[in-house]
Amino acid sequence: MSETLNYWLVIVGILFVLLNIAAFLIWVERRMLALWQDRLGPNRAGPFGLLIILADTLKLFFKEDWIPPFADRHVFVIAPAVIVISVLLSFAIIPFAPAIQIVDLNIGLLFFLGMSSLGVYSIVLGGWASNNKYSLLGALRGASQMISYEVFMGLSLMGVVMLSGSFSLRTIVEAQKDYWFVLLQPVGFVIFFIAGIAETHRLPFDIPEAESELVAGFHSEYSGMKFGMFFIGEYLGITLISSITVALFFGGWLGPAFLPPLAWFAIKTAGFILFFILLRASLPRPRYDQLMEYGWKILLPLTLLNLLVTGGIILFLNQP
Amino acid sequence: MTITQSLFYFLAFVAIFSSLLVVTAKNPIHSVLYLILTFFTLTGEYILLNAQFIGIVNIIVYAGAIMVLFLFVIMLLNLNVESEPQKTNLMKFIGIITGGIGLVVLTAALKSTDPSNTVVIQEVDMGLVKNLGQVLFKEFLLPFEIVSILFLSAMVGAVLLARKETK
Amino acid sequence: MSSIIIIAITAIVVLYLGLYKVKSALLPVSVLGLLGAAASLVCVWDKNISYFNDMLVFNNYAIAFSILLIATTILIFLLSGNYFEKISSNVAEYYTILLFALSGGVVMVSFQNMSMLFIGIEILSVSMYIMAGIKKTDSASNEAALKYFLMGSFATGILLFGIALIYGATGSFNLVQIAGKASEQPLLFYAGVIFMLIAMTFKVGVAPFHFWTPDVYQGAPTLVSSFMSTVVKTAGFAAFLRLFGSAFTSVPAIWTVTLVVMVVLTLLIGNITAAFQQNVKRMLAYSSISHAGYMLIAILLLGQASPNAILIYSVAYSIASVASFGVMVAVKEQKGSDDLSAFNGLGRTNPVLAFVMTVALCSLGGIPLTAGFFGKFYIFGVAIAANYTWLIAIAVLMAAVGIYYYFKVIIAMYLRESENSESIQLSLAYKFVLIFCIMITILLGIAPALITNIL
């Protein structure tokens, strides 16, 4: 009985923490951006402006929940939910600590790839259902960008799978006892991280939104909590990519014993989240065709080469 | 009825219902959405058969990539209810008769099948990644490799057809 | 097996030659590669080697058909000359795709496992969908490609469904094992057989699944049509016979009735529609449907002589088709049309071309002293051995209709006046191919024993 209870506690706890992190990140991002851009950022409401989170959330909840009359109602409503659901489902396979993991699937990594490939529907359907040309343009860009980057996102992870011999994230983390996979798979790590930025369509790869050309891209017509869902989905996506990176390449919960495993995981993940924000603060957005060319002509060959070399070396070392 | 059985019937019902909606939906985008739903139910069926790899690949490849391309193309073509060509009643009638005969034949064939002797039950773990890899790279190595010719040919052709002629 | 590797590598080499703009080397390299592939096949004659858990088995049947496919491809390549260059500047890709298609054909004639059958058919079909549409600015070519693609992929789906049902009934993809377990789940097995029958008859263009054939053959560039009507059709029939001859022999009753109806329909529709065509290319397309009907007789009445009959018929039909399509390309290039009227007076302006066309059409029609006569002769022999006299009566009647419409072209060439009397200039390779085809046709018409007993 206590086992089942424990199980449910983990699920509810993870859900609670994640949603709070997503909200908390609103404040973190704005403060950090301000720091890096030599501004003050939100500093009025509460200590360090922390209550801005509450204010923002309340604002989103009480805004008029408007569905444009020219929109496709059902699809318009479904679209923002898709991204939140698919990202939250991905968290099910992440091993936060030895005892804190919702389910250890033996196809865990593939499950993550499958769920992240569903996130694109949110953009495509949201953009299409808005029945607005800027939204549609954003949606088309989003679809091609995410499909392209998904290809080598999956391929770049296969090096890790070869090294650990498993798709299960727990096994992958445990296989990094001696050294982190980032040392053995530096190329795989860099490519995965770039693809991860593109998958979460964060700056510099926020082509589907591109506020300077497309108003707000695929979510131009969204307001209130539906917009909030896209917003939260984005922050959850950042957290997801950061924690997957940590689990796959940076040893997950492993670390010196003076801190508990969960703390190690949290610290490493927080580092990557900050890196996401730093990228936003420092890099300009590439042109759309440059993005696609960079993906197909540079990253894809590199990924395949990485896969070939990794496979070759493993084969060579395992020779009887 | 066990949980697996009731899940199976539920998924099967949703699969059939949503695939009927794929055909009857007036808006092509809605058709695609129902098709995606159908793929999800099929993934569920795969997982009930303990074929986890196929199940998740079904989501990654079909639901995640191919259906997005479908949406992409439909959006670019701007298909909608008005521009959909309608079939004549004669065509519909013929289609129903032909499909109905096919249904009768398949139902008869499946009904006579002895379900206790299927391949899946003999090897429960057949669908796991490890076993699938063993089969794919040992027994079915040649088809696996020869498929590369197919992909290469299709890729060369796609580039050939899509590229602008300089002449 | 080594032949498949050689063909695939040749294709890739040709692709690279195109990248480095070595246009003049494309044809020689392709032909050399194909000759190498044929030689590697000759080396394993009578050896019966099976590869990779019986995925492919190169018995004499497979080798004979593979060599036929390769030889036909060489002839078509030699005819191509600068034909493709007129369509576009990406000539290397055309050779590459045709070579890939050929490797798919070789897989199709040598498969021993259903998964290989599927992959072979897919390689061949996908390549052909592309080749049908290479005239990008020509709407007929676009229509041909799209129609072929949509219908072909639907047929592939049915094929897969059939394979899945048969796997469900027998638990195996291997032809021999399938034959052994055919009676375990009879109804499921029968349903699978019928599905595969539908798919295979679609791929070889048999009525009532023939609707794509005329449009695709007419819309595609003529040389591609000739590839489709020879290599694709031969590979399709060889695979058809290999599949039904080994895996499904134990349940003939279930599919012979269906097939008899198809044969009769195909013979009637193909021949009678062809008689009404005014466009020679479209007429040849319909006549290729009718030829599929004749070849189907040998599959319908599976017997000892069936493989041989199909082989002889394929050889005669392929060679004659290449010659007739070759003449048509030349005529179309000069007169800008392939209607019947374009052939008027060809006998006076170009006696050689007219003679080649005459012999090729006689062979297609089954006139004695040509290879086509023995093709039909052996097919009918199979039918007589199985006591299907009424079927032969229909087939002979339809062959007479065939002779009627073939002679329409011959009459136009020799008895009608042409508007201009310029003769058509042909390159050496072109002349060689045409003359070679005619020599083979006549040689086999006089001495059929050269190939009648090799299987």
Question: pLDDT per residue over C165-207, tens digit each?
Answer: 898 888 889 998 888 887 777 788 888 888 999 999 999 988 8
The encoded tokens of residue B81 equal 């209810």
Residues of B in contact with A108 (CB under 8 A): none
Interface test with A, best of B27, B60, B66, B78 (most A CBs within 10 A): B60
Q: Is the Cβ of C126 closer than 8 Å to some Cβ of chain B?
A: yes
Q: Which structural domain range is residue A293 located in?
A: 66-317
Give a yes or no: residue B80 inside a domain.
Answer: yes
Select the residue of A114, A120, A140 nearest B56 (Cβ to Cβ): A114
Whether the CA torsion C371, C377, C379, C381 is positive or negative: it is negative
Whether residues B78 and B133 share a domain: the answer is: no
Q: How many CB pairs under 8 A join B and C?
A: 99
Chain B 107-126, CB below 8 Å of chain C: which residues?
Answer: 108-110, 112-114, 117-119
Q: How much is the pLDDT for B83?
A: 63
Distance CA C382, CA C393 (A): 14
Find the chain B residues whose C-beta atoms sit closer than 8 A to any C-beta of A. 27, 29-30, 33, 36, 52-53, 56-57, 59-60, 63-65, 68-69, 71-72, 75-76, 128-129
Distance CA C276, CA B3 (A): 64
User: How many other C-beta atoms are found inside a 10 Å radius of the C-beta of residue C163?
Assistant: 19
What are the backbone angles phi and psi of residue C207, rounded to the nearest 5°?
-60, 145
Whether residues B1 and B79 share a domain: the answer is: yes
CA atoms within 13 A on the CB side of A174: 9
| A/C touch flag: 3 or more CB pairs below 8 Å | no
Whether residues B21 and B78 share a domain: the answer is: yes
Q: How much is the pLDDT for C116?
A: 93
Distance CA C106, CA C111 (A): 9
Give a yes or no: residue B122 inside a domain.
Answer: no
- Which one of B54, B85, B116 terminates a domain? B85
Strand-pairing partners, residue C49, are C58
Residues with Cβ within 8 Å of A55's Cβ and at least 6 positions away in sequence, in order, are A45
Report yes or no: C339 and C372 within 8 Å, Cβ to Cβ.
Answer: no
pLDDT confidence bin for B122, thresholds 50/70/90? low
Q: Is the Cβ of B166 closer than 8 Å to some Cβ of chain C?
A: yes
Select the residue of A107, A140, A147 nearest B65 (Cβ to Cβ): A147
Give a yes or no: residue A115 inside a domain.
Answer: yes
Q: Is the Cβ of C168 closer than 8 Å to some Cβ of chain B?
A: yes
Give a yes or no: residue A32 inside a domain.
Answer: no
Question: Collapsing DSSP states into helix, strand and coil, what is residue A207?
Answer: coil
CB–CB contact B63 A124 (8 Å): no
The encoded tokens of residue C415 equal 């008895």
Whether residues B79 and B142 share a domain: the answer is: no
What CA–CA distances, in Å, run from A275 to A27, A231, A238, A282, C144?
15, 19, 10, 10, 53
Strand-pairing partners, residue C339, are C279
Q: For residue C98, which of C70, C136, C128 has the smallest C-alpha distance? A: C128
CA A181 to centroid of chain Cα atoms: 20
Question: Collapsing DSSP states into helix, strand and coil, what is residue B76?
Answer: helix
For chain B, the domain total comes to 2
Give a yes or no: residue B40 inside a domain.
Answer: yes
Cα end-to-end span (Å), chain C: 19
Q: How much is the pLDDT for C382?
A: 85
Q: Quote the DSSP letter at residue C135.
A: -
Q: Where are the alpha helices (DSSP H) in chain A?
A: 2-36, 52-62, 73-90, 108-129, 133-164, 169-174, 181-184, 186-199, 211-214, 224-249, 261-282, 288-293, 300-317
Distance CA C281, CA A246 (A): 65
* Dihedral, CA of residue C39, residue C41, residue C43 and residue C45, to nearest 10: -140
Q: How much is the pLDDT for B79?
A: 66
Give a yes or no: residue A283 inside a domain.
Answer: yes
Residues of A in contact with B53 (CB under 8 A): 107, 110
Tens digits of residue pLDDT in C128-140: 999 998 888 888 8
Q: How much is the pLDDT for A163?
A: 86
Residues with Cβ within 8 Å of C118's Cβ and at least 6 positions away in sequence, in order, are C156, C159, C160, C163
Select the residue of B52, B56, B68 nearest A147 (Cβ to Cβ): B68
Report yes or no: A155 and A109 within 8 Å, Cβ to Cβ.
Answer: no
Give a yes or no: residue B106 inside a domain.
Answer: no
Whether residues B77 and B137 share a domain: the answer is: no
pLDDT confidence bin for B123, thresholds 50/70/90? low
Distance CA C90, CA C93 (A): 6
CB–CB contact C126 B141 (8 Å): no
Q: Is the Cβ of B105 closer than 8 Å to some Cβ of chain C?
A: yes
What average pLDDT score do residues B139-148 get?
91
CB–CB contact B56 A106 (8 Å): no
Whether residues B7 and B76 share a domain: the answer is: yes
Residues of C in contact with B108 (CB under 8 A): 187
Q: Quote the DSSP letter at residue C248.
A: S
Distance CA C379, CA C290 (A): 14
Q: What region, left, alpha or beta, does residue C21 occupy, with left being phi > 0 and alpha being psi -120 to 50 degrees?
A: left
Distance CA C338, CA C329 (A): 8
- Cis peptide bond upstream of A204, omega within 30: yes
Whether the CA torsion A174, A180, A185, A190 is positive or negative: it is positive
Report yes or no: A285 and A203 within 8 Å, Cβ to Cβ.
Answer: yes
Which of the two residues, A57 and B81, has the higher pLDDT score?
A: A57
Distance CA C361, CA C37 (A): 30
Select the residue of B119, B146, B150 nearest C126 (Cβ to Cβ): B150
Distance CA C177, CA B45 (A): 28
Match 């029945």 to its residue by tokens.
Answer: A131
Q: How much is the pLDDT for B150?
A: 94
Q: Where are the alpha helices (DSSP H) in C81-90?
A: 83-87
The encoded tokens of residue B86 equal 């309608």
Q: Which structural domain range is residue B167 located in?
A: 129-167
Residue type present at position A46: G
For chain A, the domain total comes to 1
What average pLDDT score do residues B4-26 get?
89
Residue type present at position C51: Y
Tens digits of residue pLDDT in B91-117: 889 989 988 998 888 888 878 776 655
Q: Is the Cβ of A110 closer than 8 Å to some Cβ of chain B?
A: yes
Q: Is the Cβ of C95 closer than 8 Å to some Cβ of chain B?
A: no
* Dihedral, CA of residue A39, residue A42, residue A47 and residue A52, to nearest 10: -160
| Smallest Cα distance from B42 to chain A, Å | 14
The chains in contact with chain B, meaning 3 or more Cβ pairs closer than 8 Å, are A, C
Question: Collapsing DSSP states into helix, strand and coil, what is residue C284?
Answer: helix
Residues with Cβ within 8 Å of C445's Cβ and at least 6 positions away in sequence, in order, are C363, C368, C369, C370, C371, C372, C373, C374
Distance CA B35, CA B39 (A): 6
Chain C 12-41, CB below 8 Å of chain B: which residues?
Answer: 12, 15
Question: Collapsing DSSP states into helix, strand and coil, what is residue C206?
Answer: coil
Give a yes or no: residue B90 inside a domain.
Answer: no
Whether residues B77 and B136 share a domain: the answer is: no
* Dihedral, CA of residue A15, residue A17, residue A23 and residue A26, to nearest 10: -130
CB–CB contact B59 A124 (8 Å): no
Distance CA A159, CA B19 (A): 38
Whether residues B61 and B140 share a domain: the answer is: no
Q: For residue A243, which of A122, A100, A118, A142 has the smallest C-alpha distance? A: A100
Give a yes or no: residue B57 inside a domain.
Answer: yes
Give a yes or no: residue A195 inside a domain.
Answer: yes
Distance CA C6, CA C40 (A): 9
Distance CA C385, CA C305 (A): 9
Strand-pairing partners, residue C57, are C50
Whether residues B4 and B73 share a domain: the answer is: yes
* Helix, strand counts (H, E) of chain B: 8, 0
Q: How much is the pLDDT for C139?
A: 87
Residues of C in contact with B112 (CB under 8 A): 185-188
Give a yes or no: residue A13 inside a domain.
Answer: no
Give a yes or no: residue B121 inside a domain.
Answer: no
The encoded tokens of residue C238 equal 């060889």
Report yes or no: C88 and C239 within 8 Å, Cβ to Cβ.
Answer: no
Question: Collapsing DSSP states into helix, strand and coil, what is residue B48?
Answer: helix
What CA–CA distances, in Å, run from C425 to A66, C330, C448?
74, 9, 33
Mean pLDDT by 10 residues, chain A (320 residues): 80 87 85 85 79 83 81 84 89 84 83 87 84 82 84 87 86 85 86 88 75 72 81 88 89 81 87 88 83 87 91 86
| Smallest Cα distance from C80 to chain B, Å | 19
Chain A 118-177, CB below 8 Å of chain B: which residues?
Answer: 118, 120-121, 124-125, 128, 136, 139-140, 143-144, 146-147, 150, 154, 167
Give a yes or no: residue B11 inside a domain.
Answer: yes
Q: How much is the pLDDT for A147?
A: 83
Residues of chain C below pLDDT 70: 421
Distance CA C162, CA A275 (A): 53
Q: Quote the DSSP letter at residue A72.
A: -
Question: Collapsing DSSP states into helix, strand and coil, what is residue C279?
Answer: strand
Give a yes or no: residue A154 inside a domain.
Answer: yes
For helices C23-43 and C91-110, angle between their N-to-C axes, nearest 10 degrees: 10
Residues with Cβ within 8 Å of B57's Cβ and at least 6 positions away in sequence, in order, are A110
Question: Collapsing DSSP states into helix, strand and coil, what is residue A225?
Answer: helix
